[in-house]
Amino acid sequence: MNKHFPVSRRGFLKLGGSTAAIAGSLGATRLHAMEQDQGGKDFSPVTGKERQAVPYTCMVCNIEDGGIAYIEDGRIVKLEGNPDHPGNRGKLCAKGNSGFLHVYDPDRIMTPLLRTGKRGESKWKRISYDEATTILASKLREVIDRSIKENDPAIRNEIVFKWGRNRTGGAVHRFMHAMGSNAMVNHTNICESSKKVGLEPSWGPDIESCDWTNTKYALVFGANVLETAYFHNPNAQRLVDGVVGNKAKLVYFDPRMGNTAALADEWFAPYPGTDGAIALAIAQVIMNEKLYDDAFIRTWTNVTPEQLIEHLKPYTPEFAEKESGVPAKDIRRIAREFATTKPATTFSYRGPAKHVYGSYQEAAIHMLNVITGNVEKKGGYCLPRGMNFNQPSPKPPAAKVPSALGAPPQYPLASHAVSTHMPYQIMKGEEKVAVYMTYYDNPVYTYPSSHVWDALLKDEKLIPFYCSFSPYMSETAELADLIIPDTTYLERNDPESMPSDLRPWLGIRQQVIKPLGGTQEWRDTIIQTMHKVDPDGSLGMKQYFAFKNGEEWVRAQFDGIPGLKEDGGYDYLKKHGVWPKYGSVDPVTAKIVDKNGEEVQPEFGLHMKELSAADMDGATIADNGAIKKGGKTIGVRINGKNMAGFGTPSGKIELWKASYVKYGFNPLPVYKRLASRDKKPDELVLTTFKVNVHTQSRTASLKYLAELYHKNPAWINPKTAAARGIKDGDLIRVTSSVGYMVTRAHVTEGIHPDVVAISTACGHSAYGRLAQLKQKEKVAEWALGGDPDIDHNVWWDDKGVHPNSIIKLAVDPIGGSQGWYDTVITVTKAQAGDKYGDVKSSLEVSIKDYEETLRFAYTGDIHKANHKEVQIDWDHLPEPHVGAGH
């Protein structure tokens, strides 16, 4: 039977004799599942003319899928996945398909704006990009001059740059380091940071890349792969291929039934924050029943099976059942299935990680793949593959003085910083800001206790000057003094790479159309600004921005990439969007195949790749086998072979983490019972979630997506609702220690009875008229305007209520993650006078929450009490020092 026989993936062959006869009659002829071409071209349904096609890389979310933009008369009318792209294999998700609406959003800011009224009063004067960059440059120059005059380089850190989504390929760092500032604040601790910090010390990278297509068993914790999570589109395609095509079993843990639960063979709803207990119990069963991969543990980790068996003793399935509610008999069965079905993989995302002590939970799940030897196997749990590109030379040296802003020294293990702490650090006078800049960032909407950011940015003493680069009037941008709008992702230049496939790729973003209405991309704004900060070059900064424009800057980044030049260099990427071309997507299997229809196999076993003589030249081998060169571990010697190993000091997987224990954390994965687990019987746990058609804050203004999902009633179990006299659709009041919100109940069987879930997609108080359902209001004079469809055809009348303001600040003392799912609430029917959409929250309570969460840090008093089992010299923990967090 030809392996490309198309119907095998649909289980067709199971049907018996008659079907086999059909198949047999076809002989070895290769069939075409879909005889029509999958894509790569498009035609106007009105004129029949072929649409102009220009490749790009998506940026509606962070996965960076490859796309082709179709253009009619200079207007982008359609987007499609790039068929040459190994990650998304020619397909886009709903968000990706709708991305061109960002370009034509009638409320898009089309010109720089200077504030004329009070902060947040929405009074603006339109100015030119030239005027705007002059203003910004003079503000930056003031700080630099003061730093020079006082001979204090630390003053440069008063220039602060905060981003939510930075896909600039290092341009932000170049800009800030050129000016001598290290005050760069990311958003990662509201995203997935404790996942990263659960993984990195163990095996190097911050994410796993599962070979879903070839797996036989997928154990997924709190990662709604089919709707959201990291790599939604690529992972969803491959997970469906695995489950339906390869008959893999999918077991899914999530307190809420999302679309991944819909495909799962088994869905379990654990109590929030108990995934780690389940994973540890699974590990215990695997170890006790000797179902583990003895050779892999002994060869490739820094622990022994005996050590693990001893460590896992307390974590019985019965213990995990008590904590999570998932039956012990199911945990036992799943453990045996997971260990004996090969290949198998886990995947996890925010569910386990976004809790206080989320890093332990992630580390516990990661360990399951290690003890079963599924690491770097076909169909298993693999290292991510990506490509690097450098900033062009000359490069500015790193700024001298570290900044603690958003990276407080109490969190030395939080390698992705603790951005939630930024406003509190400023309000308490610990950090100072002179010029505050934001880029793709909307903390007034997206952060826990978001009202704190509103209060910070309204305070002109604390934030004397605020420049936003947002092309949309977000909840945060409307508090700016100056807005210098960026273009959209379809009108800008960037290098890209993401590990969305087991074959690495390099992609570009380019201007698929000329930026609309004289807007300019952020790179151009930065070039102009720096030429004004340092007009004669005497500060030594101008030399780093000697580019004509953004495209020239990005083109220079691709110069040094090995092999690209031979294929046509940057111009190849402009034409094809992605490099290299591994093959074509087979319409039958969706696998990447060569000209003969054979699959282009990804490489597996990267850790076992042997180092070359050149690699070994000048290297030394430590007692534990680690191969060291230039102070770094470049591999590990195993059984006389020099192998690439893992990105750890020993070159092995370090299940026992020296970095953790140094600060009094348990070096091995443990389960720590959270305060939310001890809530009172009448209380509930608030969780939030994303849906398949929205990002965190940027898509409520996209009409196709808003039409699909525009309101976010609170999911509540029928039993829970009935106990409170609440019926489906009732107005309810959700109260946390921070404040309350008035929303409606969505009574559903798809949620744990102790949990309330509210989507973060809706409930904007800014972000244009559509997001706020104010489309009947006049368009602002600075905006693009002009979509009669939005003016007349919007039929929904509920924009939802946003929950983030009542969510308590509480971070993981290890990885720094915000504990998004740790807020304890009460839910009642609405009180007299309550109106839908009311949200009240207390700044004072949030500041106390900040002080409280610092007590969990390694420097705090709660830390030791929570880690009695750790045997170290508690009186001599390392002193906190600034810079460790960067």
Which DSSP string do the residues of 351-417 spell out, in sequence order? HHHSSTTHHHHHHHHHHHHHHTT-BT-TTSEE-------PPPSS-PPPPSS---TTS-TT-TT-TT-
Beta sheet of 217-221, edge-to-edge order = 266-268, 249-253, 217-221, 344-348
Is residue 245 within 8 Å of residue 9, measured between CB atoms?
A: yes
Q: Which helix (H) or strand (E) holds 844?
A: helix 843-854
Is residue 646 within 8 Å of residue 203, measured between CB atoms?
A: yes
Pick from 182, 188, 193, 237: which binds other proteins (CB under 8 A)? 237
| Helix axes of 275-288 and 358-371: crossing angle, nearest 10 degrees | 30
> Where do runs of H (alpha helix) occur along 150-293?
171-179, 193-203, 232-240, 259-263, 275-288
Binding to other proteins by residue 746, rule CB under 8 A?
yes
Pick from 58, 303, 479, 705: which binds other proteins (CB under 8 A)? 705
Nearer Cβ to other proteins, position 230 or 268? Answer: 268
Nearer Cβ to other proteins, position 449 or 717? Answer: 717
Q: What's the min distance (Å) between Cβ of 50 and other proteins?
A: 8
Pick from 43, 329, 400, 514: which binds other proteins (CB under 8 A)? 43
What is d(CA 341, CA 845) in angstroms, rounded to the nearest whole number? 50
Provide the token pair at 813: 């003392």
Pick from 114, 240, 309, 622: which binds other proteins (CB under 8 A)? 240
Q: What's the min distance (Å) between Cβ of 94 and other proteins?
A: 4
Q: Give the chain's end-to-end CA distance (angstroms, integer).
A: 56
Say if strands 714-716 and 632-638 run parallel, antiparallel, or are unpaired. unpaired
CA 39, chain centre distance (Å): 29
Q: Which of residues 571-630 bind other proteins (CB under 8 A)?
A: 588, 590
Binding to other proteins by residue 756, rule CB under 8 A?
no
Contacts of 695 (CB under 8 A, 6+ apart): 60, 61, 95, 761
Q: Which of residues 451-510 bind other proteins (CB under 8 A)?
A: none
Pick from 55, 56, 85, 98: which binds other proteins (CB under 8 A)? 98
Q: Which of residues 309-348 bind other proteins (CB under 8 A)?
A: none
Binding to other proteins by residue 836, rule CB under 8 A?
no
How big is the site for other proteins, counted in residues (CB under 8 A)?
99
Q: Which of residues 46-85 bind other proteins (CB under 8 A)?
A: 46, 48, 50, 75, 77-81
Binding to other proteins by residue 39, rule CB under 8 A?
yes
Q: What's the min distance (Å) between Cβ of 98 and other proteins?
A: 5
Binding to other proteins by residue 718, rule CB under 8 A?
yes
Q: Which of residues 430-459 bind other proteins (CB under 8 A)?
A: none
Q: How many residues are recorded in the chain?
A: 886
Q: What's the min distance (Å) between Cβ of 509 and other proteins?
A: 19
Q: Which of residues 353-412 bind other proteins (CB under 8 A)?
A: none
Site string for other proteins, 286-315 (x = CB under 8 A): ------------------------------
Q: Which of residues 837-866 bind other proteins (CB under 8 A)?
A: none
Say if strands 465-468 and 435-439 run parallel, antiparallel, or are unpaired. parallel
Is residue 218 within 8 Å of residue 251, measured between CB atoms?
A: yes
What is d(CA 302, CA 203) in angstroms, rounded to the nearest whole number? 11
Contacts of 79 (CB under 8 A, 6+ apart): 58, 67, 68, 69, 70, 92, 96, 97, 99, 100
Pick from 54, 58, 59, 94: which binds other proteins (CB under 8 A)? 94
Is residue 492 within 8 Å of residue 486, measured between CB atoms?
A: yes
Nearer Cβ to other proteins, position 432 or 829? Answer: 829
Pick from 316, 525, 717, 743: which binds other proteins (CB under 8 A)? 717
Q: What's the min distance (Å) between Cβ of 246 and other proteins?
A: 13
What is d(CA 233, CA 61) in angstroms, rounded to the nearest whole number? 11
Binding to other proteins by residue 704, rule CB under 8 A?
yes
Binding to other proteins by residue 753, rule CB under 8 A?
yes
Q: What's the min distance (Å) between Cβ of 211 and other proteins?
A: 18
Q: Which of residues 255-284 bind other proteins (CB under 8 A)?
A: 257, 259, 261-263, 267-269
Q: What's the min distance (Å) between Cβ of 266 and other proteins?
A: 10
Q: Which of residues 100-119 bind other proteins (CB under 8 A)?
A: 100, 104
